[in-house]
Amino acid sequence: MSLSLPSLSAMPEGRAARLLVLAAVFVCAACGLVYELALVTLGSYLLGNSIAQTSLVIAVSMFAMGVGAVLAKPLTARPLRAFVGVEIALAAVGGASVPALYASFAWLHLYTPMMLVVTFLIGALVGAEIPLLMELLQRLRRQQASLAVADINAVDYVGALIGGLAFPFLLLPTLGLLVGTVATAALNVIAAWMVGVALAGARRQRGLVTAVCGVLAVALGLTAVTADSFELNARQALYRDPIIHSQRSAYQDIVVTRGAPVGPEFDDVRLFLDGDLQFSSLDEYRYHEMLVHPAMNGTHQRVLILGGGDGLAAREVLRYQSVSSVTLVDLDPAVVSLARSFEPVSSLTSGSLEDPRLTYVSDDAFSWVRDYSGAPFDVVIADFPDPDSTALAKLYSVENYSMIARLLAPSGRMVVQAGSPFFAPDAFWSVRHTLAEAGWRTTPYQADVPSFGNWGYVLASRDGSAPELALDDEAPGGLRYASDAVLAAASSFPPDRAERPTSVTTLLDPAILDYARKGWVGY
């Protein structure tokens, strides 16, 4: 493509051209930041390590922008042609970035290397934009370099602000990650077309720009139209059993799978949040019976459940007739709605979420505990996801456990699901040590949950000695796993998983996060 600039002066036509170029700067800045945020978000969705993903994307992007700026130097001889080419390339790479990375994660298992390549390409193309746009501005009207830089930077930073706000509050909630990124790429195409058509000197050149931009626009449109089917196929590749429900809530990716039924006892319904298994209908009763019933040994009129939006812990609690109230605090109302209305899941809850004794609060557990000023609870059940992100690690901190203590009646108990003593022993024992640091007396114990493997809990109280592992006299009949005999053995740990020294977790030093990430190695 050979594009040349017409002769423009500082007359009204020249001012209009400058405004058009500055508008392109604005669009480019907004789009560039959206691409970075999209890569960070996708990595957080798929891998869960938001700090590492953010650091990698920002570091590689900044480095690549510098490389792109240097590589753009020889292109400034023909800035219009180069800018149109860069924008078209950026639209193609940016628009394909999310589906390409999702595919590499689902089918190729090469997410991180591909992410680094895509991030570098986007960063280099974004870095080439400013030198080319600067040259365009100078050719339209020669001015002092510092003034031109000031104009470019002012518009660039405003564009970044708009892009940064538009991504979480407009693009992500309305279009989703994949289509939102494609829509962003369409803005790059529009910027290339408007600048190319307005400043190109010949009709043939304008027609060529229009044709190329039109072809790319059609390709982006087809990508957007097929986004749902692509995402469904890619997501299915990540799960063993057929997906029967999937949605992206404001907080996480929610997937329910169902295995082929072999009989009434083998209808394997599984709930996954951000790819992590939350339960299997085959053996979830083992997990929830061992989580709930040891903590119910004693006064249990008022019960607080933190997490547990699937309603299964609440099901076990509400089997006690003397329970007068249950407060369930879970961040994501979409999970609670699913457990209430989606039959494969709601059939497991025994109507717990509709029980008049239960009150659901949609809130962050940490914030809710900090602000709570009501009557104390007899039992607190902390049914949090594993601490594999900074947002979750704070729930396992000294500060959170200390705040929960204020909510507890003098003779009350708390139980914390603490991960696997076998697969992640450091994380498990760190929970006990963190509770002890916050002033709790603790009794660690374990259970065999086949879909999870060996799983652990910590029962804790504030007064007296460590709480006893036993069933309450009012414990309901028909328990399928928890029993006095099982509980008597549950606190024994083999020598290879015996208690070990670990650091405690605080808000500023989330040691459990590192322990959780290093667990499960080789399994």
- Active-site positions read 383
Q: Measured between alpha carbons, how far is 356 from 344 in angstroms, rounded to an integer?
A: 22
Annotated binding-site residue? 252: yes
What is the signed CA dihedral for 508, 509, 510, 513, rounded to 10 degrees?
Answer: 130
- DSSP 8-state assignment for residue 77: G
Q: Which residues pair with 381 in a beta bridge?
A: 305, 415
Q: Measured between alpha carbons, how far is 434 from 398 in angstroms, rounded to an integer?
A: 6
| DSSP β-ladder status, 358-362 and 325-330 | parallel
What are the angstrom distances between the C-alpha of 144 and each of 13, 141, 147, 225?
Answer: 21, 10, 5, 47
Is residue 11 helix, strand or coil?
coil
| Of residues 403, 396, 357, the one with CA closest to residue 515 | 396
Give the pair of three-digit tokens for residue 419.
């991960």
Annotated binding-site residue? 365: yes
Indicate the helix (H) or strand (E) that contains 196: helix 172-199
Annotated binding-site residue? 514: no
What are the angstrom distances between the C-alpha of 243 and each of 96, 240, 344?
Answer: 25, 9, 12
- DSSP 8-state assignment for residue 318: T
Annotated binding-site residue? 496: no
Q: Measured between alpha carbons, how far is 223 from 498 in angstroms, rounded to an integer?
A: 53
Residue type, position 375, single letter: A
Per the annotation, where are the binding residues for spermidine?
Answer: 288, 310
Per the annotation, where are the binding residues for S-methyl-5'-thioadenosine?
Answer: 252, 330, 364-365
Per the annotation, where are the binding residues?
Answer: 252, 288, 310, 330, 364-365
